[in-house]
Each structure stands twice: as structure tokens, then as C-alpha cells.
Amino acid sequence: MVLTGRQILTRLSSETPWRRLYLLPMGKLTIENDAASVDVHLGQHFMVPVQSSAGYLDPSAKADGAMASRGAVDPAMWKHHLRETMVPIDGEFFLHPGQFALAAVYEYMKLPIDLCADVVGRSSWARVGLIVAMATFVHPGYAGCLTLELQNLGQMPICLKPGLRVAQVVFRETTDSIEEDHELEKRPWPDQLACSYAPEYWEIMKKKDRDLLRDLGIGARGVQ
């Protein structure tokens, strides 16, 4: 079930820890009762891929030895293919046609254990060619500043500024409607409060994925 504006406001002020939704800083946040999402804004941190001598990115390879020369998509190696940029609060970031970038949102969000969320771009940006949050699903219990994937599919550079509304978050309940508070209370509750305000990236393939490819005999030369 998608939460309405009234239900989101109730969650933001809930005194029950395992049901409370955090969205900070609140500032002048206003949510209409008939709304079904919350807007999030661009932060100051961006990551942009840069040209590399690596021939290609191979997610099945590890970032060590010969594998590193192939441009493995292990975070340890991927970091060398990204340029980090911190834009002043009154500054500008230009996303050129065909360019891809990672960006952190301004808001810190912490989900309770019975809510998940979807992050979707705003239609006004899509109409000028900016694709936002192409693959963003937020799991229950998440705590941090969301990372957005941005791509300019238009023909002209797009000027982005910290504080712009670029995406919206839709919240959905994940628990069974018959579940009681005392059952929710027994679930593990993350105590994470601190987080990075910069975009984050993760390893595309885990060891179990590599093992599966090896067992299937797929890409045997690149799988370790």
C-alpha cells in the first residue's frame, strides 16, 4: 500500500521507534494530505566517470593484478574511474549531453522496518532530457542520503544546482496488515544515524555471482 500525505506526516511524528520515518532536515517541508510522495533535493556532492586507459569494465573480474587492467567494477577499482566534485551551495554543476553522473540528495532519510520506498524522477526534468534515479529501490531500515543516477539524454547541457527538486520518494508498507506492534518490536532495528553525504557505489557482482558463472562455464577467463 502506498502511503498518502496524511500517513507520511503521521509516520514522521510517530512516537513508536519501529514505525517512525525520519527525513532530515525538515526545514519548511510541507506535504499535502492527498499527496503520495515527498520531494527530495540535490545535495552538493557529485561523481562523474572519466576517461580511462582500461579497455572496458568487467563486472565479473576482481580489481587486482591483471584483472585491474581490464577496468573491473569492484569499488576499489571503480573509484579510479570517477571524479569527485563538491559544488558550493550557490554553485552550478553542468551535465552535458550523453554524460552520466552520481549525485547525493540533500536529505537524510531513515526508514522504519515496515516501509520501503521507490525513488522516481520528476516529469518536468524528464521533459528536458534529464533521467533521474534509474534504478533506486530503498529497502526497509535504510539510513543515509540517497544516491541518484543522473543522465542527460537531451541535446544541450543542463545546469544543476544544490537544492533543486529533482526526484520524489514514494513510500510503501511491507508488513502484513495483521501484524501487531509487539511483533514489529521484535524485529532488528538499525541504530545507524551517521552517514556519508557523498554519492556511494557498490560492487556489481558478489562472490556467489562469480561462482555461478564459473560453474556454468561462462566467461571462464575473466571469472576468479
Residues with catalytic function: 149
Question: Measuring CA to CA, which residue among 150, 152, 117 is closest to residue 134?
Answer: 150
If one counts every other C-beta atom within 10 angstroms of the C-beta of residue 155, the result is 8
Q: Which residues pair with 46 in a beta bridge?
A: 85, 103
Q: Which residues pair with 86 in a beta bridge?
A: 45
Beta-ladder partners of 102 = 47, 149
Please give the full DSSP string across 155-180, using - where no structure is assigned.
SS-EEE-TT-EEEEEEEEE-S-TT--
Q: CA of 43: how far to CAs of 169, 193, 216, in Å? A: 15, 18, 43
Amino acid letter for position 35: A
**Cα gap 69→209, rounded to integer Å:** 21
